[in-house]
């Protein structure tokens, strides 16, 4: 069997690259063993503003210009809804934060998204003595359903194998890659934290962080915006909300913990004073990097081997843009931005 690409890993990165390959009418085969859960358990929120400091997300506006039409095309493909739009309300803790919001909203990169007016509407059960800052043009992508639908489609078309990839079975011949019964022009590794076991890319610096989230049912919390304070509370519909997230730099296990639950509840209770019930707890390892930039590029010795990784907490926004840039780099030899090229670590 001959294909243009073998894709190893099918989280947001792998999914985005497969979408590009389909659009470009390239052949491919995906290997997925479900060992990495970050994309599935992700909150999937997108916004171009860092709400801790009121600064622009790196290339955030440009990422959204590509990402939102990208997800719209997939909605059309599967005749399903994945993009749920809502405003984001940042709960202020002080007058100083209000002033910082006013200043940031004058920034040309931020003004299209930040409402300069302070929202003072009271919501029963929410502590907001200093009001809210309103962030427009935000929302969430239902990543779990999106990835599940893709896998169903790829299964039907026999373009995915649900098994672990065995690096030791790789061999190279005349500019191609041989793996089991497959001959490919390129292999793309989109393994997230699993990169640690990849002998070809394991030396790249990854500063992975475990994140835990809760799903709660709160019938009296009647809001249809994302609330951001010590944690975020994101509407899922029918009075269900996603609460997150923790950042644990030491624990590298994918299981949820009592410590994570305790931390989330303590932070949630600082601004939510309504009854709620926990219906689910989830965890995943975010593939972040020390410089907070993705990992894209070709292996120095075997250019047939490439990587798309390190999307961190903003994979929903980053994946479509990074996938297209890497595709152009592989197929057209278009240079990668030095900030994302893995050559920056040499």
Residues 281 and 325 in one domain: no
Q: What CATH number is given to the structural domain containing 7?
A: 3.50.50.60
**Given pLDDT bands bounded at 50, 70 and 90, which one contains residue 66?**
very high
The 3-state DSSP class for residue 34 equals coil
Cα–Cα distances (Å) from 60 to 67, 138, 261, in that order, read 10, 12, 30
Instruction: Give the residue numbers spanning the domain of 28.
Output: 2-41+145-206+290-345
Domains held by the chain: number = 2
Phi, psi of 221 (to 5 degrees): -90, 85
CA dist 176 and 122 (Å) reads 62
Q: What's the burial of 175, exposed, middle or buried (CB within 10 Å: 0-12/13-18/19+)? A: exposed
pLDDT digits (tens, 9 = 90+) for 199-220: 999 999 988 889 999 999 999 9
Q: What is the pTM of this model?
A: 0.93
Six token digits for residue 299: 């292996």
Q: What CATH number is given to the structural domain containing 280?
A: 3.30.9.10
Cα–Cα distances (Å) from 179 to 21, 164, 222, 279, 308, in that order, read 20, 12, 53, 43, 20
**Given pLDDT bands bounded at 50, 70 and 90, which one contains residue 36?**
low
What pLDDT, on a 0 to 100 scale, did the predictor assign at position 121? 85
Q: How many CB atoms lie within 10 A of CB 244?
A: 23
Phi, psi of 171 (to 5 degrees): -145, 160
At residue 42, does pLDDT exceed 80?
no
CA dist 22 and 176 (Å) reads 21
What pLDDT, on a 0 to 100 scale, did the predictor assign at position 92? 96
| DSSP-derived secondary structure letter, 343 | G
Residues 229 and 327 in one domain: no
Domain boundary among 265, 286, 307: 286
pLDDT digits (tens, 9 = 90+) for 286-321: 888 989 999 999 999 999 999 999 998 899 999 999
Q: Which of 58-72, 113-127, 244-258 has the highest mean pLDDT?
A: 58-72
């Amino acid at each position: 069997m001959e294909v243009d690409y073998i894709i190893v890993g099918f989280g947001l990165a792998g999914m985005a690259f497969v979408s590009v390959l389909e659009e470009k009418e390239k052949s491919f085969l995906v290997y997925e063993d479900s060992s990495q859960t970050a994309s599935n358990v992700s909150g999937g929120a997108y916004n171009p503003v860092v709400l801790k400091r009121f600064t622009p997300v790196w290339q955030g506006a440009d990422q959204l210009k590509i990402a939102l039409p990208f997800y719209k095309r997939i909605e059309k493909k599967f005749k399903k809804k994945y993009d749920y739009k809502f405003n984001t309300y940042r709960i202020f803790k002080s007058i100083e934060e209000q002033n910082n919001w006013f200043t940031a909203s004058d920034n040309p990169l931020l003004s299209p998204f930040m409402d300069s007016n302070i929202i003072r509407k009271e919501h029963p059960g929410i502590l907001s003595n200093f009001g809210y800052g309103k962030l427009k043009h935000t929302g969430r992508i239902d990543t779990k359903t999106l990835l599940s639908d893709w896998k169903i489609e790829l299964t039907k078309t026999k373009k995915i194998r649900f098994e672990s990839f065995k690096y030791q079975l790789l061999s190279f011949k005349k500019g191609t890659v041989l793996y089991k019964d497959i001959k490919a022009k390129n292999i793309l590794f989109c393994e997230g934290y699993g990169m640690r076991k990849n002998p070809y890319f394991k030396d790249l610096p990854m500063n992975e962080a475990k994140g835990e989230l809760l799903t709660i049912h709160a019938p009296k919390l009647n809001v249809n915006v994302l609330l951001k304070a010590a944690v975020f509370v994101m509407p899922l519909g029918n009075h269900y909300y996603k609460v997150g997230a923790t950042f644990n730099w030491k624990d590298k296990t994918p299981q949820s913990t009592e410590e994570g639950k305790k931390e989330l509840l303590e932070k949630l209770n600082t601004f939510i004073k309504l009854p709620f019930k926990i219906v689910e707890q989830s965890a995943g390892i975010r593939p972040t990097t020390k410089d907070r930039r993705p990992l894209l590029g070709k292996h120095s010795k075997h250019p047939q081997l490439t990587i798309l990784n390190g999307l961190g907490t903003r994979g929903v926004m980053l994946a479509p843009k990074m996938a297209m840039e890497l595709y152009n780099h592989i197929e057209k030899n278009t240079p990668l931005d030095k900030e994302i090229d893995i050559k920056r670590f040499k």
